[in-house]
C-alpha cells in the first residue's frame, strides 16, 4: 500500500469499544490497536464521534474528524502514543517536532503505521 494513501478506512471506522460508548460521544484511540474509548478529559484529543451505542468489546461506528493517514516512523511506536514530526521526513513518538497525531497502531522503526491526525 502506498504511503500516500490518504484515507484507508473511509470517513467512518468500526473499532472495538473499550468501555461503554454512547451515540454522539467523542472518542479517542487507546494503547490497543483498533480500539477506542470515550474522550473523558477536557484535554483529551478526540479523533471522532460515535455514531451509535456500543457496550465494552462491541464494534462502534466512529465518524473521524480527519481521515487516517499512513506515515513512516523513525523508531518504535505503540498504539495510542502521540506522534511527532521527526528529522528526515518521518515521524516519532519522541516529542522533538510538531505533534501530528495519535498512533492508531504500533510499529517498529522503518514501518509505515496508521495515525489519527490532529
Task: Determine the Cα–Cα distance for residues 55 and 10; give it in Å rounded to an integer.
Answer: 23
In this prediction, residues 42-64 reach a mean pLDDT of 94
User: Whose grid coordinates read 511527532?
Assistant: 84
**pLDDT tens, position by position, 76-112:** 999 999 999 999 999 999 998 899 999 999 999 999 9
Task: Look at residue 4 and tell me whether its pLDDT is greater than 60.
Answer: no
What pLDDT was estimated at residue 42?
A: 84
**pLDDT tens, position by position, 5-44:** 444 444 899 999 999 999 999 999 999 999 999 999 888 8
Task: Look at residue 73 and tell me whether its pLDDT is greater than 60.
Answer: yes
Domain ranges of the chain: 69-117
Task: Determine the Cα–Cα distance for residues 27 and 21; give it in Å rounded to an integer.
Answer: 8
How close are the terminal C-alpha atoms of the chain, in Å? 22
DSSP E strand stretches across the chain: 12-13, 16-17, 26-29, 35-38, 48-50, 62-64, 69-72, 82-86, 90-92, 99-103, 112-117
Amino acid at each position: 500500500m502506498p504511503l500516500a494513501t490518504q484515507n484507508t478506512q473511509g470517513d467512518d471506522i468500526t473499532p472495538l469499544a473499550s468501555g461503554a460508548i454512547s451515540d454522539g460521544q467523542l472518542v479517542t484511540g487507546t494503547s490497543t490497536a483498533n480500539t477506542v474509548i470515550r474522550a473523558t478529559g477536557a484535554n483529551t484529543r478526540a479523533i471522532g464521534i460515535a455514531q451509535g451505542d456500543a457496550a465494552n468489546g462491541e464494534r462502534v461506528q466512529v465518524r473521524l474528524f480527519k481521515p487516517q493517514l499512513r506515515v513512516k516512523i523513525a523508531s518504535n511506536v505503540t498504539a495510542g502514543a502521540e506522534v511527532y514530526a521527526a528529522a528526515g521526513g518521518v515521524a516519532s513518538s519522541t516529542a522533538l517536532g510538531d505533534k501530528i497525531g495519535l498512533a492508531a497502531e504500533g510499529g517498529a522503526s522503518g514501518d509505515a503505521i496508521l495515525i489519527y491526525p490532529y
